[in-house]
Amino acid sequence: MLCRILAFYLESIKIMKYLLGSILAIFLNFSIQAKESKFGELSFKKAVNLSGKQRMLSQRIAKIFVLKYIGANGLNIERDLKSAQILFERNLNILKENGKSQSAKVKAKIHAESREWFRFKDALNDEKESLEEMLVQAEELLVKCHELVLAIEEASDYTKQISYDSSTSQMRVQTINKAGRQRMLSQKMCLYYAASRAFKDHQKAEDAKKIYRGIYAEMNKVINDLMVSEFNDSKIDLTISEILNTFELIENDKKHFLDNKIPLLTILQTSDKLLNEFNKLTNLYSISY
């Protein structure tokens, strides 16, 4: 009888050890998953927002180059160019630091963006760089920036799968990307509007027109999509209404806009206003729950 009791006691200890070990393993697993569900010290929402700003800055810097190319000068132009470059580099450093613990793909995309940025900077400082060559360089940098955004978005989706997070969170990340992309398009639209005037070659000017017309059509569609997003609250709805009011400035004179007959200063001011409003909207999607 005593032997049976002792055997039962020992078996109970084994079971308790097994249960405690399982609980500890589950706890550690969730701890690791919680750690993996962040982009370094940043949330994935903030990482997508930050990497998305790089797309915008690539086109903003190119836009300022084109404005200088056609004769716009002054302290504001030089200040804006310097500020945009400093911001790009600071954002890139933040992404590098927080991307150290990420996948090989994400790290490779950060490296590719960094490499392309230095090429772009060299082109900016090259007085022999033609307008057409600069537009090519700006597009190549934009591609690398966009690829990084997509890689971070993909990493976010993977970490949410292994941590059993809801698909709603991933949809929010995708919405942040969509809204953030419009910041870039606001600057690219103005870039090619100005380039269309800068090109002396008729065909190149017409090609530039086609690009900014396509951007206008895409932005128009995305604004409609964002209006019915399930993540909208009263603040977001108000910001979208502000965007609609600004976009209406182009809509009300659409024919002249498409024919490149609206004053460049008007498009510059409108695109910068759209940039600020879309930046506000993207930030709201990033912080809302």
Q: Render pLDDT for 22-73 as a digit per residue (tens, 0 to 9).
A: 444 434 443 444 444 799 999 999 999 999 999 999 999 999 999 999 988 7
| pLDDT band (50, 70, 90) for residue 160 | low
Structure token pair of residue 206: 């017409």
Distance of CA 22 to the CA centre of its chain: 41
Q: What is the pLDDT of residue 161?
A: 55
Which pTM was predicted? 0.85
Of 118, 127, 135, 116, nearest to 66 by C-alpha is 135
Mean pLDDT of 87-114: 97
Backbone angles phi, psi at 282, to 5 degrees: -65, -40
Alpha helices in 163-233 (DSSP H): 167-198, 202-227
- Residue 73: per-residue pLDDT: 79
Sole residue written with tokens 């000017």: 205
pLDDT digits (tens, 9 = 90+) for 239-280: 999 999 999 999 999 999 999 999 999 999 999 999 999 999
How many Cα atoms sit within 13 Å of 257 on the Cβ side?
22
pLDDT computed for residue 170 by the predictor:
84
- Phi, psi of 223, deg, nearest 5: -60, -45
Nearest to 215 by CA among 244, 263, 258: 258
